[in-house]
Structure 1
Amino acid sequence: EALQMWGGKADAMCGQHHWPVWGKQRIDTMIRQQRDLYKFAHDQTIRLMNHGLTATEIAETIKLPASLEGAWHGRGYYGHIRHNVKAIYQKYLGWYDANPVHLDPLPPLESGKKYVEYMGGAAAILERAKKDFATGEFRFVAQAVSHLVFAEPDNQAARALLADTFEQLGYGAESATWRNAYLFGAQELRQGMPKAPPRPPMPRETLAALRTGQLWDVLGVRLNGPKAEGKHIVLNWSFTDTKEKFVLTLENCALTYLEGAQDAKADASFTLSRSILDEAIAKQTSFPEAIASGKIKFTGDAMRLAELMGLMDEFPRMFEIVEPRRVVVS
């Protein structure tokens, strides 16, 4: 469509994640090559899927044709063909590659301990891994030593070797996003998880741009299911400025909502403007303050809302990636 609309007409093209391109002929060539790049990646991934190749095998097999491989804008400086074909595979087949070994594997911490045991212990792994590192077998060294780091996260020799391996993989990565991932992993192993200030409240302007249903969805994501076991809370909401009505229900450890309705048997009913809800979420006011000032009116047991909010998780700004999490999450 872009070629039909702008072919032979456009003098300059500015695309996402790319520098401007000038000249009608260069622009036409780039649009055609970009069109064929995406079509090639999609169709060839599907073709190889139908030959039984898994996502990892497809990434290892697929090669761009010379006409696209040699195009400056087709190089993997940002996205990469080896990365993108796995996303195409997952779109159609999901994460499971039909090999039952991968159906229900142990998580990294538990499997790491067993791999270390099977491979003869930390010293044996490090001795072999150093030899492979010296010969440039960085991809497998990363896989092997990662098991040791998860089994023994305080093993400084293992952390150092894995960090050095990630660094080499980063140096060799054409894709900037891959390079960033490798080098960030190396930094975590050497310096620990980056320290970050607490997550600030969501900006008032962002909240105002969200539909009310989206705010309830955010609460649903924050709900700690195990803490909500056995709880049943029903709250009515009526917004005076948007004329919206909702029933918010906690049941079976899930938070759902129904728009355009009210429940006669609700634990509590709240009447307020949507703007006051936004201010409360942005921590510019609190529910008790808004109730005291008359900006929120309620009937029933208002403490049921406090009980619901007490079941919400606060998400950390940072967490471990290449080593076991230090804080248990349930």
Structure 2
Amino acid sequence: MKQKFTAFITVCIIASLPLANTASAEDTKLFYRGDYDDQITEAPNGAKVNKAYKKFISEGSFAKPEIHQVTDGVWTVTGYSLSNYTFIEGKTGLIAFDAGSSVGMGKTVLEMIQKKVNKPVSAIIYSHFHYTGGAKAYAASNPTGKVEVYGHPYLKNNMAGQGSTFRQMQNRRGGMQLGAYLPHEGPDAAFGPAEPQFEDPALAAHGHLPVTYEVKDGETVTIDGIEMTFYYAVADTEDSLIVDIPSKDLVLHNTAAAGLLFSLYTLRGSDYRTPVPLINSLDKLRSLDREFVVGVHGYPAKGKEAQDMLTAHRDAYAFTYNQSVRAINMGKTPDEMADTIRLPEHLDQHSELFPAYIDNEYSIRGQYRGIVGWFDEDISELHPPMRSELAKELLAVSGGAGKLNAAAKNAFADKKYNLSAKLYSIVLDGEPENKTARQGMADALRQMAYTTRSGIQTRSYLLTHALHLEGKLDMNKPPKFSFFGSASVAEIMAGQAGNSVKALEFQLDPNKVSDVEKVVAVTFTDLDKSWSIHIRKGAIEVTEGIVKADATLQLKREAWADLVMGKTSLKQLVSSDQAKIKGNKNTAYKVLGAFDNISI
């Protein structure tokens, strides 16, 4: 009877696993089910990649640095880094649209353009907050050392949020996304668009300049003799701009028309990218009907080709959103949505919508999470057991890790690579050091990585996890290259004075102050400004000013920056007379010692 019961439970477990390749997906080629196994090729650095992905990278806009003369007095640089750089010749200088991610990038690209027109930069326009790092190099080219910087009103807050709240997570996951953990050569090497690296710290620095002129939606501004109208747009951020330049029959933009299939969800993590304003932004571009359309990514487009490209992008994201809403209303789960919603063939095969960056399944799942939230009506997930507890029960009823490893190996042999990886992951949830499961899962992930057309995100993530499982890298540590830049004392000093104090709200270990109800104030003596840290039995609130403080830490702002950056300890600052504590010193040490980044 016991054997029959065990067999029955095992069948139920297998039957409950999600099916990724049902009848609804029969006509769709799936890399995780072996349909692209015959499409593996080798890149110049030895990386094993999908043939179509290699062609996209090797022959498309990311292939090599190129200068395109879009029209008279307008140049765009593609292929030097992740983003484009556009320059418009004004009366006295060059109006720059975006600046890359570092001082070195800005300097290099400006030198390229100045071989065409030897003028300094007279103004900078930020398309959104991602590509502002070369602005200081642009400004340095101007004899005055200063330039007007135009941008969206939201850009300042986005820069601050990037720097203080999610940077640690974004740099780690963004590093996976861009292949920063991967080797430079060999089958598992990174292959795709990359950011140029600089050994010189001055060139590697993020040279952002604050916006000096926040544009209004629909506002017309004359910049260095060129009349431009600004429109707010939404793409990967909500601080994006469309810049219409009638005299050039030209429009510049950061929208979802990015030269490849745009991600409505990115694996590194982001806010919900609601498609409606994104689609509206594309429609705004279409309505302007300019001869020349130049984006932050992809090649410049012209005439009918530009309109066709914008319409294809618009239709792809509208289809994904519309069908996601339809499926949600029908009660489908994220798994069922990802299995049944497929782009029409003319869009799936469109040259401007190649899925190099993202697999559209992720965007569909992202719609469910953004619209509905995490609960998919699986009632057992309201209060689920820990994965380790569930895995141990599954291992017990299935006959142990050996049986499940064997099933995973058979799934791999049947080219059901996603099923193989999932079965191995169950073993590892129960037995994290199981060598057979670690290697088996790495093999399944690696096979999917070599065959996916989404070589930028999917391939990079799969290989990073495979190498981590094999002990060849530690993906829990930050990568050497940080896409969003490394936090620094200089950045803290350049930001608003209270940002680094407010950021403590995200760094408190509540267990260390579960019995504490105190207020510790921080006063920057060189600014004569204070903030109060309210601790209420594990809860925290940071407010401006001093409110009945039990202790007050007095120090200069730079000394505080050194403290929160881990360059010194609180007691070192006090003993060297760089800081003073008024009131109850024990309270100050107790409270400040509860933060992850502060050493007492």
TM-score bucket (shorter structure): 0.7 to 0.9
Structure 2 residue aligned with 1:250, among 535, 541, 548? 535
CA distance in 2, matches of 1:262, 1:204: 24
Kindly provide the CA deviation profile for residues 125-148 of structure 1, in whole angstroms up to 9, marking residues without a partner as x: 222222221111111111111111
CA distance in 2, matches of 1:51, 1:134: 36
Aligned CA distance change for structure 1 residues 56 and 242 (closer, same or farther; 3 Å): farther
Aligned CA distance change for structure 1 residues 226 and 102 (closer, same or farther; 3 Å): same
- Secondary structure of the 2:547 match is coil
Amino acid at match of 2:519: V
- Secondary structure of the 2:541 match is strand
Aligned CA distance change for structure 1 residues 89 and 214 (closer, same or farther; 3 Å): farther
Amino acid at match of 2:351: W
Aligned CA distance change for structure 1 residues 44 and 226 (closer, same or farther; 3 Å): same
CA distance in 2, matches of 1:250, 1:110: 35
**Paired residues of 1:201 and 1:283 also in contact (CA < 8 A):** no
Aligned CA-pair RMSD: 2.8
Amino acid at match of 2:589: A
Aligned twin of 1:328 = none
2:294 corresponds to 1:13: yes
Aligned CA distance change for structure 1 residues 210 and 27 (closer, same or farther; 3 Å): same
CA distance in 2, matches of 1:96, 1:58: 15
2:517 corresponds to 1:232: yes
Aligned twin of 2:131 = none
Deviation for aligned residue 1:45: 0.7
- Secondary structure of the 1:220 match is helix
Residue range with higher mean Cα deviation, 292-301 or 45-54: 292-301
Residue range with higher mean Cα deviation, 57-66 or 192-201: 192-201
Aligned CA distance change for structure 1 residues 191 and 181 (closer, same or farther; 3 Å): same
CA distance in 2, matches of 1:162, 1:210: 44
CA distance in 2, matches of 1:309, 1:23: 58
2:553 corresponds to 1:274: no
Amino acid at match of 1:185: H
**Paired residues of 2:407 and 2:423 also in contact (CA < 8 A):** no
2:469 corresponds to 1:185: no
CA distance in 2, matches of 1:244, 1:40: 52
Aligned CA distance change for structure 1 residues 118 and 210 (closer, same or farther; 3 Å): farther
Aligned twin of 1:263 = 547
CA distance in 2, matches of 1:22, 1:164: 41
CA distance in 1, matches of 2:514, 2:469: 37
Aligned CA distance change for structure 1 residues 187 and 292 (closer, same or farther; 3 Å): closer
CA distance in 1, matches of 2:422, 2:561: 46
- Secondary structure of the 1:2 match is helix
Deviation for aligned residue 1:289: 5.3
2:591 corresponds to 1:308: yes
Deviation for aligned residue 1:198: 11
Kindly provide the CA deviation profile for residues 32-88 of structure 1, in whole angstroms up to 9, marking residues without a partner as x: 222222222222111110000111211111111223212222122112210011111
CA distance in 2, matches of 1:242, 1:314: 23
- Secondary structure of the 1:247 match is strand
- Secondary structure of the 1:313 match is coil
2:457 corresponds to 1:173: no
Amino acid at match of 1:305: A
**Paired residues of 2:511 and 2:538 also in contact (CA < 8 A):** yes
Residue range with higher mean Cα deviation, 304-313 or 166-175: 304-313
Aligned CA distance change for structure 1 residues 13 and 188 (closer, same or farther; 3 Å): same
CA distance in 2, matches of 1:13, 1:23: 9
**Paired residues of 1:188 and 1:194 also in contact (CA < 8 A):** yes
CA distance in 2, matches of 1:166, 1:201: 30
CA distance in 2, matches of 1:289, 1:146: 46
**Paired residues of 1:201 and 1:281 also in contact (CA < 8 A):** no
Amino acid at match of 2:295: C
| Percent identical | 24
**Paired residues of 1:202 and 1:281 also in contact (CA < 8 A):** no
- Secondary structure of the 2:470 match is helix
2:347 corresponds to 1:64: no
Deviation for aligned residue 1:90: 0.8
Kindly provide the CA deviation profile for residues 20-41 of structure 1, in whole angstroms up to 9, marking residues without a partner as x: 2332332222222222222222
Residue range with higher mean Cα deviation, 281-290 or 174-183: 281-290
**Paired residues of 1:268 and 1:304 also in contact (CA < 8 A):** yes
Residue range with higher mean Cα deviation, 70-79 or 91-100: 70-79
- Secondary structure of the 2:298 match is coil
Aligned twin of 1:158 = 437
CA distance in 2, matches of 1:253, 1:159: 38
CA distance in 2, matches of 1:35, 1:215: 40
CA distance in 2, matches of 1:156, 1:46: 43
Aligned CA distance change for structure 1 residues 172 and 103 (closer, same or farther; 3 Å): farther
Residue range with higher mean Cα deviation, 298-307 or 161-170: 298-307
Structure 1 residue aligned with 2:401, among 98, 115, 122? 122
Query: For 1:202-213, what aligned pairs fall within 5 Å after superposition?
Result: 202-213=487-498
List runs of 5+ in structure 2 lacking aligned partners: 1-283
TM-score by length of 2: 0.47
Which has the larger strand fraction?
2
Deviation for aligned residue 1:242: 4.7
